[in-house]
Amino acid sequence: MREEELIIYKNFENGKILHDMVWLMDSYRSGDNRMRPLFFECMHGLLEMAATHGFSGNLWHCYLTNLLVNNENSYSVACEIRGEVEGSVNQLALHDIAIFKEFYDFDFTEMTEVLKAPEFGMVIDYESTADSSRRYSTKIRDRICYLAEQFAATENALEMKAVLTEFYREYGVGKFGLHKAFRVVHTDQGARIDPIRNISHVQLDDLIGYEIPKKKLTDNTNAFVAGRKANNCLLFGDAGTGKSTSIKAIANEYYDKGLRIIEIYKHQLQDLNDVIAQVKNRNYKFVIYMDDLSFEEFETEYKYLKAVIEGGLEKKPNNVLIYATSNRRHLIRENYEDKEGRREDMHASDTVQEKLSLVYRFGVTIFFCGPDKKQYEEIVKGLAARYGVTMEEEKLLAEANKWELSHGGLSGRTAQQFIDYLRGMEEK
């Protein structure tokens, strides 16, 4: 086996199993008493991977496939979204994939006999008990398992390379390719962008009403993913009206078009430049999402955010936009004394402009208004029909109106909570 000859595909995140298995393939006839325990240790690692990833079938092939789809290198990154690329990197990639083809085609029959490990037969024909994956969405998990079968069925390295390149074109590579949403973690080495592995599967159609706000949001997002000019967006308005739900929905609806969402909180604004630096050269479109964004007078982080959004010397990359939600139209708390005629501030208008300057950097502002009673009832009826709640309409609306009086007033969130309550009672 030629693991040490790999040129492009190196530095795997979970490469120890590969290293150990290659050593076993080369040396299992040597009679070394370390062989058998190491083989069982590798089997343990493959089974643990199956438990966390939800893989089934040939776990050795699934493991190799997982290495290939997660390895961010000069070839895989160049292929993401665009597909096949030109240049010498193609031949170098083919060289490495030919080595991986040897790993896929290795016959373990003699090795399992020599090492007295017939249990390996269950590892390469594994039936998973997990219906879900803690690491991938079901769609990606199933696609990786299918890709492993495709690789095993290819006749040669060139055919295998074509299959892999098509995967990169369709799904991308690494965490940005295989996940749709991310969070930021601050470390001593700087900002780390971690996948969010379980995002709500909501769609914009799930948000009943609000057609005008939804259209403004999708128009801007459509322009962004198509490579046209687009604006930073501020979604503001009453609580519980679907602002955050709309962001989750576009993460789901535009994933296949290369859109990724990175959630960042107000206390992490110091990491914003680092986050942008990590994503600016990738072939994806990134929305940096700030939920419930607002500032009190004593909080001055907004000054830093202003410079990052628009105003600093470094130009914001074309593949990055900022979407924020807030209950405040102007984001920064304002006081009546800011606008009264008698002020101690000698330059009162400057103070007002300073507090408004942040919101002016959002080119698109979208208002989500709380529903009136009729709209609230329409939302309740729509949600009841969607979830199959069986209750006479007159009684349903009467109960919904009683519910909102003691549960936060008229809003889409209140309607959803009421329907969830009814569903829970039906299940009980």
196 φ, ψ to 5°?
Answer: -95, 115
Q: Check whether residue 344 and residue 262 sit in a common domain.
A: yes
Q: Check whether residue 286 and residue 413 sit in a common domain.
A: no
Structural domain total, the chain: 3
Q: Check whether residue 200 and residue 140 sit in a common domain.
A: no
368 within a domain of the structure (yes/no): no
- Core vs surface per residue 238-261: b (16+ CB within 10 A) or e: bebbbbbbbbbbbbbbbbeebbbb
Give the pLDDT band (50/70/90) at residue 314.
low
The last residue of one of the domains, among 363, 387, 418, is: 363
Instruction: Point out which residues pair with 286 in neighbouring strands.
Output: 260, 320
Q: Check whether residue 121 and residue 268 sit in a common domain.
A: no
Give the pLDDT band (50/70/90) at residue 336.
very low
pTM of the model: 0.80
* CATH number of the domain that residue 285 is part of: 3.40.50
| Alpha-carbon distances, residue 317 vs 193, 234, 279, 283, 306 (angstroms) | 18, 19, 9, 12, 15
9 within a domain of the structure (yes/no): yes
249 within a domain of the structure (yes/no): yes
Q: Check whether residue 196 and residue 116 sit in a common domain.
A: no
Of all residues in the chain, what percent carry a pLDDT higher than 90? Answer: 48
Residues 6+ positions from 233 with CB-CB distance below 8 Å: 217, 220, 321, 322, 323, 324, 362, 363, 364, 365, 366
Around Cβ 388, how many Cβ atoms within 10 Å? 8
8 within a domain of the structure (yes/no): yes
Give the pLDDT band (50/70/90) at residue 348.
very low
Residue in the structure block whose two tokens are 């909570």: 417
The last residue of one of the domains, among 324, 341, 363, is: 363
283 within a domain of the structure (yes/no): yes
Give the pLDDT band (50/70/90) at residue 428.
low
Q: Check whether residue 169 and residue 39 sit in a common domain.
A: yes
The last residue of one of the domains, among 307, 339, 363, is: 363
Q: Check whether residue 321 and residue 377 sit in a common domain.
A: no
Residue in the structure block whose two tokens are 């630096």: 277
Domain span at 281: 181-209+231-363
Q: Check whether residue 323 and residue 299 sit in a common domain.
A: yes
Of all residues in the chain, what percent carry a pLDDT higher than 70? Answer: 87
Residue predicted with more confidence, 425 or 298:
425
